A = this chain, B = another copy of it.
């Protein structure tokens, strides 16, 4: 596949401790798939400076696009922006355009732009802001890294802001056939089918429901007619 590749870095103690389930990864995966961007890797790390910097540098070197989620709020454990600056070796400071956005927002609310909130205007040198229509405090993009909030409604709004600026590829088409047999019964013919369609990705995702084992076989590819042919052949093999 020659589609652009992407990775996601989730900064989230709360996910690693089992307190919450991540929702942003699933959203981004679906949006990227629709847009023809191939999400190849996700890493979830804790709120640890060295871990974040090292993951960021590995992912931005290996992929066309990196999206981060989490750690850009006003509290002491929000260290993502500083980590991005460190990873790129650039300075970070309060920036006038980001401060102006926050000032206008808190003026409207009758709240104070205090020291903590002002931290959300700290933007690494050379970055451009990502619009946040939900809660104003912006994300930012630096080269191929897009830094977004962890709150799902804000994350989704930021993805919607950035997605049109990314180069997409041919959207992968996919069809799924649910086969109510154990994978061991279908594996042989399925492997031969995969050999006959080298341009398609054919995956088998087993499930167990009420004690019965079965598999969802997913056929993916850029050529819809080819996907159709493979699914038809698959259905005839196991009908």
Which A residues are closer than 8 A to B by beta carbons? 13-22, 25-33, 39-48, 51, 73-78, 106, 111, 114-117, 119-120, 134-135, 150-151, 153-154, 172, 174, 176, 182-188, 190-191, 194, 201-208, 213, 215, 218, 220
Complex interface: chain B residues within 8 A of A201 (CB): 13
| Interface contact A76-B151, CB-CB below 8 Å | no
Complex interface: chain B residues within 8 A of A78 (CB): 204
| Interface contact A75-B186, CB-CB below 8 Å | yes
Q: Is the interface of A mostly helix, strand, loop or mixed?
A: mixed
Known contacts A111-B185, A151-B207, A154-B208; is-contact A17 B39 (Cβ 8 Å): yes
Complex interface: chain B residues within 8 A of A150 (CB): 206
Of A17, A184, A187, most buried by chain B (CB within 10 Å of CB) is A184
Distance of A20 from chain B, by nearest CB (Å): 7
List the B residue with the shortest CB-CB distance to A154.
Answer: B208
Complex interface: chain B residues within 8 A of A27 (CB): 18
